[in-house]
């Protein structure tokens, strides 16, 4: 079974090496918990391993997304030569992995329907890691059943290609029924939360669900540093 390291050493130890191929992981984050930085680590680790990585941003332009990567990782060598960034905020496909010109032109014409466009991309390219930041975009712009069907198709793709989807979703915006439906279609569910303790904010990580693994009860602390996520040492599951 192929294992994908997250790029956060303590978390990889916790996961017995990383995330298994064929998985759809959804990170539910509270505002300020730094979920986007987790996705940066995951994307960068794939680039380091010379994997085919697609990063989908729904709230920021391609240039803004690059700036956020550089903020924590100081522009790693050749990062943006080996990372495909797709922005749904400013619809365009980045330089990086080349699509056929006719396909690229077609996607630019139909990008007003992102779900259909992403399905076209996945039908024509094989990616090892696909990051979606943030699922809120799809819930806001599509019927819930359409989002569910989309996640089912992503699941089939991940199993067929032995790849991993890492989805980010802001917690607490929608009623619990909607969150539960997203959790149902995810093979793994992580949760990031914040808590004020005296004069500081503590950030906490826990695993709610992970297929083929025993989920520990322990909640672990982590920090956001100038080099990304620093997490306490974790016990393997």
**Span of 22-26, 61-65, 178-182, 195-199 with lowest mean pLDDT:** 195-199
pLDDT, residue 94, reads 44
Q: Which band of pLDDT confidence, cut at 50, 70 and 90, is reported for residue 214?
A: low
Q: Write the pLDDT tens digit of every residue in 10-22.
A: 998 888 889 999 9
CA 43 from chain centre, in angstroms, equals 8
**Span of 67-76, 162-171, 185-194 with lowest mean pLDDT:** 67-76
Query: For residue 168, what are the β-bridge partners?
Result: 27, 133
- Where exactly are the structural domains of the chain? 3-231
Task: Give the pTM.
Answer: 0.87
Examine the pLDDT at 29 and tell me if it is beyond 90. Answer: yes
Examine the pLDDT at 97 and tell me if it is beyond 50. Answer: no
Examine the pLDDT at 182 and tell me if it is beyond 80. Answer: yes
Q: Which band of pLDDT confidence, cut at 50, 70 and 90, is reported for residue 103?
A: low
Domain 3-231 top-level CATH class? alpha beta
Q: Which band of pLDDT confidence, cut at 50, 70 and 90, is reported for residue 37?
A: very high
- Cα separation values, 32 from 4, 83, 139, 184, 203, Å: 26, 25, 21, 25, 9
Examine the pLDDT at 54 and tell me if it is beyond 60. Answer: yes
- Cα separation values, 230 from 8, 20, 46, 84, 203, Å: 7, 22, 19, 26, 11
Task: Report the C-alpha gap between 33 and 43 in whole angstroms.
Answer: 18
* Average pLDDT along the chain: 86
| Mean pLDDT to the nearest integer, 26-44 | 96
Q: How many CA atoms lie within 13 A of 9 on its CB side?
A: 3
Examine the pLDDT at 56 and tell me if it is beyond 80. Answer: yes
**Span of 98-107, 153-162, 201-210, 216-225 with lowest mean pLDDT:** 98-107
| Mean pLDDT to the nearest integer, 37-62 | 94
């Amino acid at each position: 079974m192929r294992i994908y390291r997250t790029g956060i050493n303590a978390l990889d130890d916790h996961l017995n090496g990383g995330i298994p191929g064929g998985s759809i992981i959804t990170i539910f984050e509270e505002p300020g918990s730094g979920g986007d930085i987790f996705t940066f680590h995951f994307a960068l680790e794939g680039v380091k391993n010379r994997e085919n990585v697609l990063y989908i941003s729904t709230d920021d332009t391609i240039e803004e997304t690059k700036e956020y990567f550089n903020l924590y990782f100081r522009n790693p060598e050749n990062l943006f030569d080996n990372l495909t960034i797709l922005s749904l905020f400013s619809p365009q496909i980045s330089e990086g992995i080349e699509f056929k010109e006719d396909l690229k032109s077609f996607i630019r014409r139909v990008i007003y329907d992102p779900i259909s466009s992403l399905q076209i991309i996945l039908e024509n390219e094989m990616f090892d890691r696909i990051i979606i930041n943030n699922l809120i975009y799809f819930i806001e712009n599509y019927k819930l059943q359409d989002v569910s069907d989309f996640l089912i198709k992503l699941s089939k793709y991940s199993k067929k290609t032995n790849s991993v989807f890492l989805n980010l979703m802001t917690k607490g915006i929608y009623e619990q029924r909607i969150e539960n439906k997203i959790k149902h279609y995810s093979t793994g569910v992580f949760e990031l939360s914040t808590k004020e303790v005296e004069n500081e904010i503590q950030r906490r990580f826990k695993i709610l669900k992970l297929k083929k693994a025993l989920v520990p009860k322990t909640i672990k602390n982590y920090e956001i540093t100038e080099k990304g996520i620093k997490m306490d040492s974790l016990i393997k599951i």
